[in-house]
Amino acid sequence: MKKILLVEDNETITMGLKYSLEQEKFYVETAKNIVMAKAKINKEEFDLYLLDIALPDGEGYEICKYVKEKGDNPVIFLTAKDEETDIVQGLDMGADDYVVKPFRTRELISRINSVLRRYDKETANENQLKCKDIIIDNNTAKVYKNGREVIFTSLEYKILFMLVNNKNMLVTREQILDKIWDMAGNFVNDNTLTVYIKRIREKLDDKEGKIIQTVRGIGYRVVE
């Protein structure tokens, strides 16, 4: 369930919008001023922020700036101000959309869903590594080749992730050994690393080393 913080000082708008959003299966917290909003932002993280601009103790721009300093979470402004300078100021601060009052609730919900889909896609892409027909999903620590899951041990996964995360770049054996441990908590030695690389290649059907290339005497390189 996506969590939304609605910052609005008009109680009628707040109650109506909160009800409509909850009917769409959103979890909604509300605040009527900057102080309340910051307190809730410090207490929990939200998936999206709906911010009125004209608030009793300042402007919603301040909350937008506060949110963006903490992380890249989507912000939509709700405001009666429709001057181009106001819209530009909001977008320049990192807002993702700007909805002018009065607005249709269905239109706002559509915009919310659109913004959230874009962020979800960007986040998913950030947590996926791709190389040729291989996809590494870092959210689930799973590896897929041609759409089929390939099972790796924890240490095999760590080695493969490191190589693919540095694809087209040389990764020395020393760099790998410095970063990984075996399951007992001991450093993996040089000979054991060779065995792990061999197993990874076998599981990826890369026995000839076309994906994971050996740079003799130095290390390995995953090529696109």
* 90 in Cβ contact with 98 (< 8 Å): yes
| Residue 45 to residue 25: CA distance in whole angstroms | 17
Of 1.10.10.10, 3.40.50.300, 2.30.30.90, 3.20.20.80, the CATH number of 128-222 is 1.10.10.10
For 128-157, write each residue's pLDDT tens digit: 888 888 999 887 889 999 989 999 988 888
At 184, the pLDDT band (50, 70, 90 cuts) reads very low
| Residue 99 to residue 78: CA distance in whole angstroms | 5
Residue ranges matching CATH 3.40.50.2300 in the chain: 3-126
* 116 in Cβ contact with 2 (< 8 Å): yes
55-64, 70-79, 178-187: which has the highest mean pLDDT? 55-64
Residue ranges matching CATH 1.10.10.10 in the chain: 128-222
Tell the residue number behind the tokens 């998936």, with chain if given.
47
At 182, the pLDDT band (50, 70, 90 cuts) reads very low
Residue 79's pLDDT is 81
Helix (H) or strand (E) holding 118: helix 105-126
| Residue 4 to residue 31: CA distance in whole angstroms | 11
Cis peptide before 102 (omega within 30 of 0): yes
Q: What predicted TM-score, i.e. pTM, was given to this entire model?
A: 0.58
The DSSP code for 80 is S
Domain 3-126 indexed as CATH 3.40.50.2300: yes
Which structure tokens are listed for 77? 């402004």
